[in-house]
Amino acid sequence: MYVADSRGGAGTEVRDASRPGPRATAVAPTVLVLGTVSLITDVSSEMVTAVLPLYLVAGLGLSPLGFGLLDGVYNGFSALVRLVGGHLADRGGGRHKAVAAVGYGLSAVCKPALLLVHSLPLIGAVLAVDRTGKGLRTAPRDALISLSSAPETRGRAFGVHRAMDTAGALLGPLVAFLILRQAAEGYDAVFTVSSCVAALGVLVLLLFVPGGRGGAPATAPASAPASADSPAAPSLRASLALLRRRDVRRLTVCATLLGLSTVSDSFVYLLLQHRLGVPDRWFALLPLGTAAAFLLLALPLGRLADRMGRWRMFLAGHVALLAAYGLLLAHGPAYAVLLLHGAFYAATDGVLMAAASTAVPDELRGAGLALVQTGQATARFAASLAFGAAWTAWGDRTALTTAALALTVCAVCAVYLRPAQSK
């Protein structure tokens, strides 16, 4: 099958997705460069994330409810601006790189700001700006990945990106741990090094990531047909109208439902310390277990999702999370909890974006992915607040039991609400 070249050429052959050729299995250079940017940025952000719960709870004496509020702010602001980032990235023929650069830049500026603030309101404000940057960059970055990859290999492409991203998440806590052991003013040293690494990530993005739509090859067919009246610069109304598409709507509803019962990473690590008695000096290393499992499993599970169905893999990831909750309740080994926690992310994070990419047209790719991400992030914001309140009122065991029951109910509902095209 041939399609006309957009510049008036003779046309280009489009491969049958059921018979991938030699190049169909390759990962686009844009994916690798974006993976490098994410690796560097995650070293920076996870250095802060690894020490922040202990800094706030042990250092500043914050209660679980107070930490839940701050953690909710940390994730909630990301949810509020994802739609804006996705919409802005789709305008003007695709400004994905520009919007992503603004997002990465905002987060980089916030790292040195943590050196200057020491009260909870100011720390909350800095974290809110940091998460605004994350919200702006996430949908444009994922749109660049999907637009530069063939539909039948998007699970693998997102798996490669998430594996590189997680390599940074693996290195970040380790760097923070080493700094805390060597530096007299440990937290300030962590924030200083983090700001320098974040600036390097922005530089790599500006210099090496292609502009526009990320160099999407002409051979990659549109994953969903654009309507005849689609404007060159999509309106916000057109972006929101994607929810009229059955698969987009169901993906968003299911991601939101499951997000409502997902305990935030910070609470998982605090639960491990509280229930298993992990010493404070080892706390910064706990995210390493999650990151290591994520790194090892992201690519294999992404490839498996391309074969067995992305929706099935997404649900299987939440089963792994439910098992992690069960081990926490049973005082199971910490390494097993962290392994299941990492497997949950490997089976859901990039896989959900690969599934959503199939349901939205190219010209609204950023906005479509942002819709799904916003539903999930908003739900996790609410879950963080609720879990912090439940822990404060009833204790950690009752709070975690409630979260496990809620996850079971939401997973059953998601089975019935699954998209018609559940690949």
3-class state of residue 2 by DSSP: strand
Do 96 and 145 meet the contact criterion of CB atoms below 8 Å apart? no
13: three-class secondary structure by DSSP: strand
The amino acid that residue 304 corresponds to is: L
- What DSSP state is assigned to residue 331? T
Q: What is the mean pLDDT of residues 147-154?
A: 89
Does residue 149 contact residue 157 with C-beta atoms inside 8 Å? yes
pLDDT digits (tens, 9 = 90+) for 73-113: 666 667 778 888 888 888 756 688 999 999 999 999 988 88
Does residue 380 have a pLDDT over 60? yes
Instruction: Kindly report whether the global pTM for this prediction surpasses the value 0.85.
Output: no
pLDDT digits (tens, 9 = 90+) for 12-46: 333 443 344 444 457 889 999 999 999 999 999 98
> How many alpha carbons fall within 13 Å on the CB side of residue 76?
13
Handedness of CA 258, 264, 269, 270 (dihedral sign): negative
Which residue shows structure tokens 């006309």? 4
DSSP annotation of 57 reads I
Residue tagged 């997102």 (tokens): 158
pLDDT tens-digit readout, 292-323: 999 899 999 999 999 989 989 999 999 999 99
pLDDT at 10: 39
Strand partners, 13: 2
Which residues, other chains included, contact 86 with Cβ-Cβ below 8 Å and sequence gap of 6+?
Answer: 139, 140, 143, 239, 366, 367, 368, 369, 370, 371, 373
Q: Inform me whether the pLDDT recorded for 222 exceeds 50.
A: no
